[in-house]
Amino acid sequence: MIRSFAFTTQGRLHSKDIQTFLMPTLLADTNLFLWVDLEKPTAEEAKFILEELFHFHPLSVEDCVQVSSSPKVEEYSPKEDDKFAPYLFMVIHAVDYSRKDGVFATSELNFFLGKNFLVTYHEAPLRSVQATEERCLKSTVHIARAPDRVAHTLLDGIVENYKPALDELALEIGELEEDVVKRPSPKMLNKIIKIKKEVLHLRQIIGPQREVLARFAAGEFKLIRPHLVPYYRDVYDGLFRISETAQNYTDSLTGLLHVYLNMSSNQTGEVIKLLTLITLITTPLTLVGTWYGMNFKNMPELDWKLGYELAMAIVLVSTAVIWWWFKKKKWF
Q: Which of residues 15-34 bind a copy of itself (CB under 8 A)?
A: none
Q: How far is the CB of 309 from a copy of itself (least distance, A)?
A: 8
> String of b and e for 64-81 (b: at least 16 CB within 10 Å)?
bbeeeeebbbeebeeeee
Q: How far is the CB of 260 from a copy of itself (least distance, A)?
A: 8
Of 173, 41, 56, nearest to 114 (Cα)? Answer: 56
Binding mask 60-99 for a copy of itself (x = CB under 8 A): --xx----xxx-x-x----x--------------------
Q: How far is the CB of 269 from a copy of itself (least distance, A)?
A: 4
Binding mask 139-178 for a copy of itself (x = CB under 8 A): ----------------------------------------
Asked if 332 touches a copy of itself (CB under 8 A), the answer is no
Asked if 243 touches a copy of itself (CB under 8 A), the answer is no
Q: How far is the CB of 17 from a copy of itself (least distance, A)?
A: 33
Asked if 240 touches a copy of itself (CB under 8 A), the answer is yes
Asked if 223 touches a copy of itself (CB under 8 A), the answer is no
21 or 296: CB nearest a copy of itself: 296
Asked if 106 touches a copy of itself (CB under 8 A), the answer is no
Give the Cα separation of 56 and 41 in Å (integer): 17
- Look at residue 280 and give its three-state secondary structure: helix
Q: Is the dihedral of CA 267, 269, 270, 275 positive or negative?
A: positive
CB atoms within 10 A of CB 28: 9
Give the Cα separation of 147 and 120 in Å (integer): 11
Q: How far is the CB of 274 from a copy of itself (least distance, A)?
A: 6
Pairing of strands 106-114, 2-8: unpaired
Q: What is the DSSP string of 130-172?
A: HHHHHHHHHTTTTSTTSHHHHHHHHHHHHHHTHHHHHHHHHHH
Give the Cα separation of 252 and 169 in Å (integer): 11
Looking only at residues 268 through 307 of this chain, which bind a copy of itself when binding is defined by CB under 8 A? 268-269, 271-276, 278-280, 282-283, 285-299, 301-303, 305-307
Residues touching a copy of itself: how many (CB under 8 A)?
81
Of 212, 199, 204, 180, nearest to 245 (Cα)? Answer: 199
Looking only at residues 122 through 141 of this chain, which bind a copy of itself when binding is defined by CB under 8 A? none
Binding mask 181-220 for a copy of itself (x = CB under 8 A): x----x--xx--x--xx--xx--x----------------
Which residues, at least 6 apart from 71, have a Cβ–Cβ distance to it below 8 Å?
91, 92, 93, 205, 208, 209, 211, 212
39 or 75: CB nearest a copy of itself: 75
